Amino acid sequence: MSASVSLAVTHLVPLAAKEVDENKVTPGILGFIVFAVMAVAVWGLMKSMNKHMQKVDFKESPDADAEGAREQAGSAAQQR
């Protein structure tokens, strides 16, 4: 056997041994895959939200009705 095969087998032997505590819970590869998929989904949503937010125009056009109501309220307050 070559040195690299010997080293690989040495690292795999503890995985096959029954010395592992049966009460110990670990996420394993499935937990990592689920976490990675969720991280990619959040990244995609953030990128999409950023693209949509750049399209939004935050400048409001002046509202004629609101201006008239403000002027009437201002003149009524001055008459008191």
Segments forming the whole domain that contains residue 40? 26-55
Q: Is residue 63 part of a domain?
A: no
* pLDDT higher than threshold 90 for residue 46: yes
36 within some domain: yes
pTM for the model stands at: 0.46
Residue type, 80: R
**Dihedral pair phi/psi, residue 42, rounded to 5°:** -65, -40
pLDDT number for residue 39? 98
Alpha-carbon distances of 26 from 19, 38, 74, rounded to whole Å? 15, 18, 68
Answer yes or no: is 47 within a domain: yes
Q: What is the largest CA-CA distance in the chain?
A: 102
Structural domains of the chain, count: 1
Region of residue 62 (left: phi > 0; alpha: psi -120 to 50; beta: else): beta
1 in a structural domain: no
**Residue 32 maps to a domain:** yes
Instruction: Give pLDDT, residue 25.
Output: 79
